Structure 1
Amino acid sequence: MPLKRILPPLVALLLLLPGCAPKIKIFASQATEPLKEYVVDGKGEGKIALIHLRGFLTTQPNQGMLRSQPSPVQELVNALKLAEADDEVGGVVVAIDSPGGTATASDVLYHELLDFKTRSGKKVVAAMFDVAASGGYYAALPADWILAHPTTITGSVGVVFMRPKLSGLMDKVGVDVEVSKSGKDKDMGSPFRPTTPEEEALFQGIIDDLAARFHELVMANRKLTEENMATVKTARVFTANQAKAIGLIDQIGYVQDAFAKARELAGLEEDAKVVTYRRDLYPDDNPYNTLDSAEPFRPTLLGVDARYVMPPSAGFCYVWVRGVTR
């Protein structure tokens, strides 16, 4: 068989099975510089810490062409530790721009923010930017105040389990996979064969269980009416105006409004400093700079970060998958 016919399905297999495929690094350089504090707004006494949470939420480090970057979970925890240790910091603004991510990463972020509040007694304001959906919204739930930009998309309170199927493609190119297993369900979810009705039921049970946890946390933190919660459970997304009307957020505004609310909740003066934590110094720094350090290469699919539509490993995700499902 010609190589050009065999190569595409083999490449697809490597992309779809990251847990089994070898990890290839061109350079092993790591982002090892410590985080340092930089002032991005205000000149008064006291501080509000600005922490960015963006991209696909995972506990895995971001693999670049030139180096690896810490995962979003690791970076948030690092920044929270600095904010907690600084007695001048009265509160935190978490700027969220994320469609969500893995169920575990989203839940860890929720846990870490809640623990930070409990340990430190410091206030947390969540400020949503372009998208704060699914796991991005999950991570905002511990906040004392949730603010969305006028054009934010949020919601998508639910779970998705994407499992691409290659069986049709493999039939066309004459490729097969033999599987030996210890139990009948050991390879459930395999991309190499159709899913059985029994497996569909098992998957749905897992999805329902994970969704129930998400729903319980929304109810515990937002106190929605039964009618509004029923709408939220459809897992649809909402505009900022819709989210405020249904009770998912507290305010519509801009990042400066989030700073003002955090200063108010922390009992700080109106011009208290806003600090952020970065590895590199940037000229003319400001709150909209989301870089902690020089960015690694990230794979793109038609100009879109490929991690948004191709999660780094198989699993159940609190993520809003835009325009790629039927």
Structure 2
Amino acid sequence: MKARRWIALGIGAFVLLFTLITTISVAFNTYSAPVLGGADQTIVSDGDPSGQIALLEVTGPIIDTGEPGLFDTGGYDHAAFLTDLDTAMTDRDVQGIILSVDTPGGGILESAEIHRAIVEMKEQTDKPVYVAMGGMAASGGYYIAAPTDRIFATPQTLTGSIGVIMSSYNVSELLDNIGIEEQVYKSGPYKDILSPTREPLEEEDEIIQAIVDEYYDEFVDVIAQGRDMAEDRVRELGDGRIYTGRQALEEGLVDELGSLEDAITAMREELGSNYQVVSNDEFLNFGNLFGLTLQQLFGNDSPIKIDFNQPKPYYMYNHE
């Protein structure tokens, strides 16, 4: 009886603790993430308060995972980033923008949305936009950097990976070996294209390759225009390989070797004033409520998984 009583008490305590944490987390998540210009901004580098340099971060895969949820682990928030970018563009106090980029890339659509927002900003304002690359700014990370005014990379940065990747698994032989057969009823011959349970048709290879080529052509055009580089030269560099910061500088993919601090110094020099640098405070959620992320609690697996049944094209390095 004593053992059962202790088990019951333990279960009750766990339920109570979980309910308390959930209630607190929901209370936090009912508020929108703070945006630049609000009371929740952080002064990253103190300076002249008459103007600001907005520091926006792109950290982790550039994937739109929707609104932060109860078990959100932090990382890149696409909607919040676009909101901050728009706010920085329209805020009269913001004199320049620096993107701190540390990402392997990400979705085709998300990368294009950021690129389009930067291009529109340059067309509508005279605010300089710099990129400071971190450990990695590959594929989609370089895609969003291409239209900016000045790109900084450290010698250790891995960048480039210019290209598109789209993949699926083929487990048909495995299913044959264990005696499993999928029955498919479809309205057209290509409705189950990239199915993992059968060999692809030759025509399907051509269809998928045409999609990848179209997105790759778009990537090439973005770099050619953003970096004022000949298309043939972009295609020569854009064979999917990665470059170190030094190699990227030699090939004209970045403008200068330097850190985020170097980018801040350079922008202040261009603006002619020691403006303060501001960014958003981190949005609090269940994953970091007590100083721990869910990755720390349950392992270091990437929060982004490629859907087994829904292969998609990506501007991403080492996407799996």
* Structure 1 length-normalised TM: 0.78
Q: Cα 1:166–1:189, aligned 2, differ >3 Å: closer, same or farther?
A: same
Aligned residue number for residue 3 of structure 1: none
Aligned residue number for residue 15 of structure 1: none
- Separation of aligned partners in 1, 2:292 and 2:78: 17
Is 2:318 the counterpart of 1:314? Answer: no
- Separation of aligned partners in 1, 2:94 and 2:233: 36
- Separation of aligned partners in 2, 1:42 and 1:146: 23
* 1:197 Cα offset (Å): 1.2
Is 2:78 the counterpart of 1:73? Answer: yes
Aligned residue number for residue 106 of structure 1: 111
1:305 alignment partner, SS class: coil
1:277 aligned residue (257, 271, 280): 280
Is 2:239 the counterpart of 1:242? Answer: no
Is 2:163 the counterpart of 1:158? Answer: yes
Aligned AA (1:143): T
Q: Is the 8 A contact 1:61 1:68 kept in 2?
A: no
Is 2:294 the counterpart of 1:297? Answer: yes
* 1:306 Cα offset (Å): 5.2
1:39 aligned residue (43, 49, 53): 43
Q: Cα 1:68–1:239, aligned 2, differ >3 Å: closer, same or farther?
A: closer
- Separation of aligned partners in 1, 2:124 and 2:297: 40
- Separation of aligned partners in 1, 2:298 and 2:283: 29
Aligned AA (1:37): Q
Q: Cα 1:63–1:40, aligned 2, differ >3 Å: closer, same or farther?
A: closer
2:190 aligned residue (161, 185, 188): 185
Q: Cα 1:206–1:31, aligned 2, differ >3 Å: closer, same or farther?
A: farther
Q: Is the 8 A contact 1:63 1:296 kept in 2?
A: no
* 1:85 Cα offset (Å): 3.6
* 1:66 Cα offset (Å): 2.3
Aligned residue number for residue 285 of structure 1: none
Aligned AA (1:40): V
* 1:297 Cα offset (Å): 2.9
Q: Cα 1:67–1:222, aligned 2, differ >3 Å: closer, same or farther?
A: closer
* 1:280 Cα offset (Å): 5.3
Q: Cα 1:196–1:187, aligned 2, differ >3 Å: closer, same or farther?
A: same
1:216 aligned residue (199, 205, 221): 221
Task: Report how many aligned residue pairs link the two structures.
Answer: 285
* 1:58 Cα offset (Å): 1.5
Instruction: Give the CA RMSD over aligned residues.
Output: 3.0
Task: Among all aligned residue pairs of Structure 1 and Structure 2, give the percentage whose two residues are the same amino acid.
Answer: 27
